[in-house]
Amino acid sequence: MAKTILHLRAETKPLEARAALTPTTVKKLLATGNFEIFVEKSSQSTFSISEYEEAGAIIVPEGSWVTAPRNRIIIGLKELPEEDFPLVHEHIQFAHCYKHQAGWEDVLSRFPKGNGVLYDLEFLENDKGRRVAAFGFYAGFAGAALGLQDWSFKQLHSDSENLPGVTPYPNEDLLIADVQKDLNKAVAKAGRKPRVLIIGALGRCGSGAIELCQKAGIPDSNIIRWDMAETARGGPFHEIIEADVFVNCIYLSKPIPPFVNYETLNDSNRKLRTIVDVSADTTNPYNPVPVYTIATVFNDPTVVVETTKGPKVSVISIDHLPSLLPREASEFFSHDLLPSLLQLPQRHSAPVWTRAKALFDKHVASLNKSKL
């Protein structure tokens, strides 16, 4: 049987240092004898090209996937650069075009135009309908870290200043040390530790946010854990503005009353200073935190909410938060993805891949014919 050929493309999104395949995963796939793997040189990956070389990958130039033979499966994480040439390969990636996000038709139509296929990582599911791999834990972990840093910054600086840019950390311990250092200074001035309210606390993302808070030294009594039972009565929730930091760890695909809105934020007694919207899906019409309109970035992580009452409040809405810890997040994700990758040689019959292909076909069928 011919080998399945994977081609890991270099990420191009600014400050995206994660990788869909790690050297560890490459080595395990190659050990089966069923794969051949090409890895592009990358100017921003947390993994060095020598690590991939030692794992047995064939190293190729950055961006060479575009002209690669059609029998290669192109794998990456974040969306492709905004171009309009047809896509002729099978692609595995997060494409962000199945929920009718802004520009979704332009993104999706490139695949049928070139007879390409999209296996969207967000929708690779097991037989129970649960995602086979997700970055949720580290999204919550990193989001909570930045939320605590922003709260700390506000205790020590004037309202005219915003939290400075951040860059990826080599490991979790260094991030926690920075958060603790900032917190200690802020607590010395404020006289207390912040209260953090987390919605979606029972999920992967919420568990990451909780763990970061605990490791940073926030007492359990200051970590308010909410999930479906607590939000069932419908928002907005006054409890959110009584917390210092609010971390939203859920994505909604149907309308519900917002968790917080401009009316609740315009309260002279509001304690809330920082909102971390981990989903950061600004174009989602069902966004339960409808108080901002832009996704923020690591080098400018906050956007100020325009309020008329109460202290300054900011939103962190970075859509690739796990990139703050790219090595650990990549290893975590790719470890969970590995069992599905091992089934790629049988992708025309393996349920995890046939479901993803059927979903792709369904969304392509919904495209306006003018886009094809």
Mean pLDDT of the 111-133 span: 96
Q: How far is Cα 70 from Cα 65, in angstroms, rounded to an integer?
A: 10
- CA 251, 252, 257: angle at the middle one, nearest 5? 125
Residue 288 clears pLDDT 80, i.e. is over it: yes
Q: How confident is the model at residue 281 (pLDDT cuts 50, 70, 90)?
A: confident
The distance from CA 263 to its chain's CA centroid, rounded to whole angstroms, is: 29
Strand ranges in 4-129 using DSSP code E only, listed in sequence order: 4-8, 35-40, 58-60, 72-75, 90-93, 117-120
Please give the single-letter amino acid code of residue 92: I
In the block, residue with structure tokens 């004037």: 158
Q: Which of 314, 308, 306, 312 is nearest to 277 (CA)?
A: 314
The whole-number pLDDT of residue 102 equals: 75
Tell me, yes or no, if 369 is annotated catalytic.
no
233-272 as b/e: b if 16+ CB within 10 A: eebbbebbbbbbbbbbbbbbeeeeebbbeeebbeeeebbb
Mean pLDDT of the 123-135 span: 95
User: Of 78, 154, 193, 363, which is the active-site residue?
Assistant: 78
Q: Token pair for residue 310?
A: 């109460």
Residue 284 clears pLDDT 80, i.e. is over it: no
The whole-number pLDDT of residue 372 equals: 67
User: Of 96, 154, 320, 363, which is the active-site residue?
Assistant: 96
**Positive or negative: CA dihedral 194, 200, 206, 207:** positive
Q: What is the mean pLDDT of the chain?
A: 95
Tell me, yes or no, if 215 is annotated catalytic.
no
Q: How far is Cα 30 from Cα 32, in angstroms, rounded to an integer?
A: 5
The whole-number pLDDT of residue 254 equals: 82
Mean pLDDT of the 245-261 span: 90
Run of H or E residues at 180 = helix 172-190
Please state, for a pLDDT cut of 90, what percent of the chain lies above it. 89
Q: Token pair for residue 227?
A: 């999930």
* H-state helical runs in 56-135: 104-113
Residue 229 clears pLDDT 90, i.e. is over it: yes
- Three-class SS of residue 58? strand
Tell me how far CA of residue 300 lies from CA of 45, 154, 318, 336, in angstroms: 21, 15, 9, 31
